[in-house]
Chains A and B, each alone.
Chain A
């Protein structure tokens, strides 16, 4: 099947070339990081996790969100998602791959990464995150391969697929829950020490993931003769509206608890995030942009007349992705470290080299996504021809 990804229009090959170049740049800078150490990043003694782990956290949500297509289609037999399901699964696979890559590039001694398997440590949440993420990758590869091959051959999928699909649904929830547990079980970091972190992660994932899928589905329709369907895209818009509304509600719950209880150790993190602390306010402007984009997207999503216009929906989806990327991919992780346990306000700014490594990981993920989508689209086009 892979041969279908090797031929295509000039613009397709150009896209592959550009993404390969991005991946190559990231790889070269990563080799430099391997040589020098994580000193090439903006990380510090006070802020030991930054851009890499933030991207990992954001992308776990994108990966988990495939369940928002899988569940209606396979459990509720919602037929309109028939053409979209494979796009959802083929988004989850590169998303998990990027998660694993972002953890890998963050490790100080990558040659020893295998120690996590040689010395498995069940009391560490990181161990369980490795288990659920790799398991989710395997489940998605199994399911998408079997269903896709069956569809291509015009036969019903093999019988073993159904239970695997059912297993993949709670498993999708588990990857983001366990990822939240990485943070919310730490007495050292009051900002994350909140039981709503896992539900909030899930709500934001079910807004941002389907938003990315909307944008991808619109792009697929525009640049190929394969149409994932108006109804399917409109339904995704509804899912995003629910996800975003619940996410904003959860953020408001967090803010109420922190502001009304007025406990300095909790409040200071929120103050740093939105206003700045001791004159340090690198994240604050970003967070206000995130809030504004979130509010604007919510208006566009909640008014049915607006949401049903696909151009408006595309704008709303882009606003949701950007808003939640700022929230999770920039603010959430770093703010847990500011102020530090000793009350120091050390700001973190990613370096250019760090950003290039991240760009490389994103390019690699986009490359895998492009190849998978190309295969899916070509097969669909052949079936419909």
Chain B
């Protein structure tokens, strides 16, 4: 092949590659202009959670919800603290709700452990920034995560205003907390987070953290469908003064707090 022939060939190959890439891009641009509910989505469903901090705080040190979730979902206990993976956990009140703390707030309130998890926002920034649609919002409000499509760029972690996402810096499988359950384990290099127990909702069960909390007779966590006006969560959301994390950002979290 002559020099010119080779150059022409490479040029044509480049054009061909660009053309092949243009097809899915055009498709995605067309999709982006439409907003259709996912096929098979239950009409009108909107899952939400209310966390009653007043009830929860009575049992300082209790973490049955965290344990239940992390054990069932094969969330590892990574040896390095900076590689920590968590779906639901407790943070100091002053870190979760800094706007509810005054210079006179007593230390006991400042340090009160407050449960946090993915807020399953109506307008999730993580979904907006993900370059592969590995995370997306379902019609029922759950912000889902496909660890098989995730390329591990961590843009969603950067975009989440709540610190709700974790990255598998190393292989999590040697660090599981106990015997692995049926729930799929993850691989290194992908992001994970709470999915409101979508695998349990699919078979008519409620999230594990909620069941665990009820199991000890506490009932600080209420979960249900806001589309169903008769649900307990609907009654709370419509009948009580509730707070959400960082409402000024416009993300519209669907984890509500009774402070």
Residues of B contacting A36 in the complex (Cβ-Cβ under 8 angstroms): 170, 188
Cα–Cα distance between A37 and B169 once the two chains are bound (Å): 6
- A124, B91: Cβ atoms closer than 8 Å: no
Residues of A within 8 A of B (CB-CB), count: 47
Residues of A contacting B80 in the complex (Cβ-Cβ under 8 angstroms): 39
A378 interface hit (Cβ, 8 Å): no
B138 interface hit (Cβ, 8 Å): no
Interface of A is mostly: loop
A8 interface hit (Cβ, 8 Å): no
Which of B98, B151, B251 sits near A116, CB closer than 8 Å?
A: B151
B200 interface hit (Cβ, 8 Å): no
B144 interface hit (Cβ, 8 Å): no
Chain A: which residue is nearest B17 at the CB level?
A117
- B82, A37: Cβ atoms closer than 8 Å: no
A344 interface hit (Cβ, 8 Å): yes
- A121, B133: Cβ atoms closer than 8 Å: yes
- A341, B160: Cβ atoms closer than 8 Å: yes
Known A-B contacts A45-B83, A45-B84, A116-B131; the reply to A109 vs B161 at CB < 8 A is: no
Residues of A contacting B180 in the complex (Cβ-Cβ under 8 angstroms): none
Known A-B contacts A109-B150, A187-B249, A341-B162; the reply to A48 vs B131 at CB < 8 A is: no
Residues of A contacting B25 in the complex (Cβ-Cβ under 8 angstroms): 117, 120, 122
Chain B: which residue is nearest A123 at the CB level?
B128
B171 interface hit (Cβ, 8 Å): yes
Residues of B contacting A248 in the complex (Cβ-Cβ under 8 angstroms): none
Residues of B contacting A41 in the complex (Cβ-Cβ under 8 angstroms): 169
A76 interface hit (Cβ, 8 Å): no
Cα–Cα distance between A182 and B160 once the two chains are bound (Å): 13
Known A-B contacts A126-B155, A343-B98; the reply to A188 vs B160 at CB < 8 A is: yes
A189 interface hit (Cβ, 8 Å): yes
Residues of A contacting B159 in the complex (Cβ-Cβ under 8 angstroms): 186, 188
- A346, B82: Cβ atoms closer than 8 Å: yes
A359 interface hit (Cβ, 8 Å): no
- B162, A122: Cβ atoms closer than 8 Å: no
The distance from the CB of B70 to the nearest CB of chain A, in whole angstroms, is: 15
Chain A: which residue is nearest B189 at the CB level?
A108
- A48, B154: Cβ atoms closer than 8 Å: yes
Known A-B contacts A37-B189, A39-B80; the reply to A119 vs B28 at CB < 8 A is: yes
Which of A44, A124, A336, A344 sits near B155, CB closer than 8 Å?
A: A124
B190 interface hit (Cβ, 8 Å): yes
Cα–Cα distance between A113 and B116 once the two chains are bound (Å): 31
- B149, A343: Cβ atoms closer than 8 Å: no
A368 interface hit (Cβ, 8 Å): no
- B131, A49: Cβ atoms closer than 8 Å: no
- Number of inter-chain CB pairs below 8 Å: 153
B231 interface hit (Cβ, 8 Å): no
With a 10 A CB-CB cut-off, give which of B82, B95, B168, B170 has the most chain A CB atoms.
B82
A310 interface hit (Cβ, 8 Å): no
A239 interface hit (Cβ, 8 Å): no
A147 interface hit (Cβ, 8 Å): no
Q: How large is the interface on B (under 10, 10 to 19, 20 to 34, 35 or more residues)?
A: 35 or more
Known A-B contacts A38-B169, A108-B168; the reply to A342 vs B163 at CB < 8 A is: yes
The distance from the CB of A33 to the nearest CB of chain B, in whole angstroms, is: 10
Chain B: which residue is nearest A126 at the CB level?
B131
Residues of B contacting A159 in the complex (Cβ-Cβ under 8 angstroms): none
- A342, B153: Cβ atoms closer than 8 Å: no
Chain B: which residue is nearest A183 at the CB level?
B158
The distance from the CB of A337 to the nearest CB of chain B, in whole angstroms, is: 8
Binary B-proximity of A109-145 (CB < 8 A = 1, otherwise 0): 1101101111111111111001000000010000000
Known A-B contacts A116-B131, A127-B131; the reply to A187 vs B250 at CB < 8 A is: yes
Known A-B contacts A108-B153, A341-B162; the reply to A119 vs B170 at CB < 8 A is: no
- A344, B95: Cβ atoms closer than 8 Å: yes
A227 interface hit (Cβ, 8 Å): no
The distance from the CB of B108 to the nearest CB of chain A, in whole angstroms, is: 18
B29 interface hit (Cβ, 8 Å): yes
Cα–Cα distance between A16 and B91 once the two chains are bound (Å): 53
Known A-B contacts A45-B83, A122-B28, A342-B91; the reply to A107 vs B151 at CB < 8 A is: yes
Which of B24, B94, B116, B166 sits near A117, CB closer than 8 Å?
A: B24
A254 interface hit (Cβ, 8 Å): no
- B170, A37: Cβ atoms closer than 8 Å: yes
Binary A-proximity of B130-170 (CB < 8 A = 1, otherwise 0): 11111000000000000001111111011111110011111
B21 interface hit (Cβ, 8 Å): yes
Residues of A contacting B155 in the complex (Cβ-Cβ under 8 angstroms): 124, 126, 182
B32 interface hit (Cβ, 8 Å): yes
Cα–Cα distance between A130 and B250 once the two chains are bound (Å): 28
The distance from the CB of A150 to the nearest CB of chain B, in whole angstroms, is: 15
With a 10 A CB-CB cut-off, give which of B82, B128, B153, B170 has the most chain A CB atoms.
B153
Cα–Cα distance between A37 and B152 once the two chains are bound (Å): 10
The distance from the CB of B209 to the nearest CB of chain A, in whole angstroms, is: 19
- B162, A116: Cβ atoms closer than 8 Å: no
- 3 nearest A-B pairs in the assembled complex, by CB-CB distance: A108-B152, A108-B189, A44-B82
List 6 contacting pairs A-B, 8 Å CB cutoff, sorted by A. A38-B152, A38-B170, A108-B152, A108-B154, A126-B153, A340-B163
- Known pairs A49-B154, A120-B29, A342-B162. 20 more at Cβ < 8 A? A36-B170, A38-B167, A39-B83, A43-B169, A44-B82, A45-B84, A45-B157, A45-B166, A48-B158, A48-B167, A103-B153, A110-B151, A119-B133, A120-B24, A121-B28, A122-B29, A130-B131, A138-B14, A188-B160, A340-B163
